[in-house]
Amino acid sequence: MKRLLAVLLMLTLAFSMLAGCGKKETAELEDPNTVPKDTYEIQWYLMADAQNDVASVEEALNEYLKDKINATVKINCLPSAQYTKKLGTMINAGEYFDLCFAARWALDYVGNSRSGAFYDLTDHLDTYLKDINEIIGEETMKCSYVDGRLYGLPVYKEMATQQGWIYRKDIAEKYDIDMSKYKSFKELEPVLKMIKEKEPDMKYPIDWAYGAGEPASLVMTANNIFVDGSYDNQPVNRYATKEYKEACEIARDFYNKGYVRPDVLTATDQVARMSEGKTFVMLQPLKPGKALELFKNSKYEFEQVGITEPGIDHLAGTGSMQVVSATSKNPARVMRFLNLLNTDPYVKNLVVHGVEGKHYKKIDDKTVEPIKGSGYSLYTNSWAIGNVFLDYLLPEDDPTKHEQLQKFNEEAKKPLVATFLLKEVTDPDKKQRNIEINNTVENYAKQLNLGAVDVEPNLKEFLEVLDKAGIDSQLKDIKAEWKEFQKNN
């Protein structure tokens, strides 16, 4: 009986793995310049809240696409929570679909690319995806490669990021505070002190969450390499650096002095609180117009100012992308649609704003006003769909939003480390070691980063446990890979 069961179990496992890999089909050679004779329906999954009136958008889209690429599109919107679970199961089950959203943080772009769930786009950049490839440019496209191949088309938007303050404008004006003068948390302290004393409504003038605006988020590393090139541009144990320790100490100091809320470890309403005017300033990853987007529903006015130089990071290429499924029956057609979506303003705006006159009213060439309750608007999800520079803006947007984003992209530094991706770990011992290191970081870093525990004893313990978990041998591996990577790039 036991044996039979074991065999059964093995078979099921093997079967599910086989199914996960799916069959690899080569794209039929379709001339990208002609309209194909057969119609093909593209099953498209988007990460967005469900829309009531998808049907009329699909209808308009299908009519337009008929003479271009002879395809119809079925738009399926899944909210973020459902999205990763549902699409993950679909991929594991080898279920058919054509196109979907993926990112390094959402549908495990890297892992699924390596396991062959996504269609390899590399060889089609000069044919089906020619136009968008030229727009994005080779250098930025490199950030999306996995082991030298491209499995997804990044959404063209702000490709860089910078850290900076978002703060309440009226309070800054009231006390004549020039926030651009303050480049670190330490320098900001007197301002916080003053506001805590003078503004009874702002008991906790600054706020942060883990990975979002705490002092340690200024200690920026990717794969343990500092993005600003310090430490000779070599991998180091981030948590053993003096920069990290200082950041934790400042967080602890602010916590003890009551500049940050006492329940910061468990709180999740940082943005809501700030929106209600209870917080003066937060450190945030910025792009032009971020304060406006984040607090568009607030009755207060907010401003932003950058404190680090804008730079491309690993999120540039893998933060938001559209991938073609390996189960697609006609990848060529799907890629042609993807190309249109990213280069044809009519297609993109149809998907994002809906049908003119039904879902939005046009105000001028570049601006539209959504009709309330029309049942369709994906404008807030545009960053997950395609080239945002094609979008019509809303009246409340800054009219120069796109120019600003473009400038931001051009000014951004492009550190080599942004395209550096560690190889897949196959050695079980090393896998175990990496898991242990990740668990250790998870157990200690949050409290330390947020300032919720004393730095000295906890950091010491943290480093000891990291040592035991094998951080040195991990760093050695990263160093070797990094050296090889630098030689080749």
Bridge partners (DSSP) of residue 360 are 356, 370
Residue 329 in the binding site for other proteins (CB under 8 A) = no
Judged by CB under 8 A, the residue of 315, 347, 368, 390 near other proteins is 315
- 439 counts as binding other proteins under rule CB under 8 A: no
Q: CB 164 → other proteins: shortest distance, Å?
A: 13
User: What minimum distance in Å lies between the beta carbon of 107 and other proteins?
Assistant: 12
Question: What's the chain's Rg over C-alpha atoms?
Answer: 25
404 forms part of the interface with other proteins (CB under 8 A): no
105 belongs to the binding site for other proteins (CB under 8 A): yes
Nearer to other proteins, 90 or 240 (CB): 90
CB-wise, 128 or 379, nearer to other proteins? Answer: 379
Alpha-carbon gap, residue 23 to 124, rounded angstroms? 19
**Separation of alpha carbons 274 and 265, rounded Å:** 17
450 closest CA partner among 244, 280, 215: 215
Select from 152, 235, 319, 451 the one that contacts other proteins (CB under 8 A).
319
Q: What's the token pair of residue 68?
A: 């271009």
Q: Does 370 bind other proteins (CB under 8 A)?
A: no
Rounded to whole angstroms, the Cα distance separating 186 from 393 reads: 38
Among 342, 381, 387, 447, binds other proteins (CB under 8 A): 381
| Distance (Å, whole) CA 363 – CA 388 | 19
| Whether 267 contacts 209, CB under 8 Å | yes
Q: Decide if residue 79 touches other proteins (CB under 8 A).
A: yes
Q: How far is the CB of 467 from other proteins (least distance, A)?
A: 27
Q: Which two structure tokens, joined as six digits, stand for 128?
A: 């089906």
By CB under 8 A, which span of 81-89, 344-352, 433-441, 447-455 interacts with other proteins?
81-89
Nearest to 23 by CA among 327, 472, 310: 327
- The amino acid present at 217, given as its one-letter code, is S
- Which region among 73-81, 112-120, 241-249, 440-448 touches other proteins (by CB under 8 A)? 73-81
Q: Which is nearer to other proteins, 30 or 108 (CB)?
A: 108
Give the span between the Cα atoms of 135 and 82, in whole angstroms: 32
Alpha helices in 213-344 (DSSP H): 242-257, 270-275, 290-294, 314-318, 331-343
Chain residues binding other proteins by CB under 8 A are 5, 12, 16, 19, 49-52, 76-82, 85-86, 89-90, 92-95, 103-106, 161, 209-212, 268-269, 271-273, 275-276, 278, 285, 290, 293-298, 315, 319-320, 373, 379-381, 383-384
